[in-house]
Amino acid sequence: MIRSWLKLLRSPTLWVWLGLIALTFGLPFTYPLFSALFPSLDRPIYTQDPFWRLFISHIGIVAASSIISIIVGITAGWFVTRERGKEFKPLVDTTVAMGQTFPPVAVLAIAAPLIGFGATPALIALSLYGLLPIVEGAIAGFTSVSTVAREAATGLGMSRAQMLRHVEWPLAWPIILAGIRTSVTINIGTAAIASTVGSKTLGTPIIVGLTGYNTAYVIQGALLVGLLAVAVDMLLGLLAKR
């Protein structure tokens, strides 16, 4: 038990998350620091919304969009690696590549006037933008399962569902997880622009800072977004190792 706690305390991931939480709640107390760095600013600390609330909202948007991308991406990747779905592979590849090619800002600009401002257009943009790494990871993962493993499963009398659950999925999962890791990390940074359509995220201080020529706001938002991306990537890295 003691060894487990000591191992946990030595984990860089734990300290990065603790630092992220401390920074989220502690930024308002850094007023003297930012006041000294930017003496010309009357308001060197962003106070329109609590940082912890923006933090939770940011994670919520990323989580929701990532779940949509994961479900759609893995399903599409699995389907095109089946015999009956191989002919649709070029179509799927082209579709998800287009989703990655179109900038999220362009998707937001089109979606916001049609469905309104807020979190919904951000979810659409992030879900489309996060598809490509997951689909590619799913295709690579399921394709990497050797013919020998499939034949052995067939020889044991497994059904297609049993083969998928007990053979293909465990062997493909590490590669699929690598695609998910890339997609989520990208979406954490991209979610910052969701604030341009009225969604509350850690990008809100950045947008407000850019429009109001307040560099301190930009730095505060960027620090939290960057550290969140690193923290989540490290957490998913631990999951990949396990």
Q: In this model, does residue 195 exceed pLDDT 70?
A: yes
Give 28-76 pLDDT, tens digit per residue.
899 999 998 888 888 899 988 899 999 999 999 999 999 999 999 999 8
Domains detected in the chain: 50-241 (1.10.3720.10)
Give 211-234 pLDDT, tens digit per residue.
888 899 999 999 999 999 999 988
Residue with tokens 């020998």: 148
Q: Which of 100-104, 139-143, 179-183 has the lowest mean pLDDT?
A: 100-104
Helix (H) or strand (E) holding 25: helix 12-26
Q: In this model, does residue 196 exceed pLDDT 70?
A: yes
Q: What is the dihedral sign for C-alpha 171, 173, 178, 179?
A: positive
Give 79-137 pLDDT, tens digit per residue.
988 888 788 888 887 877 776 666 666 666 666 666 666 677 778 888 888 888 898 88
Cβ pair 156, 213 in contact under 8 A: no
